[in-house]
Amino acid sequence: MGAVGFLEVSGLVAAIEGLDSMLKTADVEFLTYEKKLGGRLVTIIIKGSVSAVNEAIENAKVRAGRLGKVVASAVIPNPHEEVMRMIRLSAQKLPNVKSGEINGI
């Protein structure tokens, strides 16, 4: 399967900056995110090859760290199926918005 990566930062703006840098840095795919404490903590979850996820997470820690505090990060190579199940359950809680449906984006 490759790897999954997690980046937890304080604040939505820092999380978006981190996600943008991850997607531009390496061949990774955004899976989902979690907001806690009223959005004060945001965790971004990505997947890709081990090397791509490592590169993306390291770059995002620097970029997101300029706008907010990086609370934690992790890369899990070859994650167990139950870890992937937990991620899928998290993603199912998010509204299903198709690309282009948000103000013409």
- The per-residue pLDDT for range 21-71, each reduced to its tens digit, is 999 999 999 999 988 876 689 999 999 999 999 999 999 999 998 998 999
pLDDT value for 89: 87
Higher pLDDT: 84 or 40? It is 84
| Cα(25)–Cα(61) distance, integer angstroms | 12
Contact 103, 50 (CB under 8 A): no
**Most distant pair of Cα atoms in the chain: their distance:** 38
- Whole-prediction pTM value? 0.86
Contact 2, 26 (CB under 8 A): no
What are the sequence ranges of the domains in the chain?
3-92
Which superfamily does 3-92 belong to?
BMC (bacterial microcompartment) domain (3.30.70.1710)
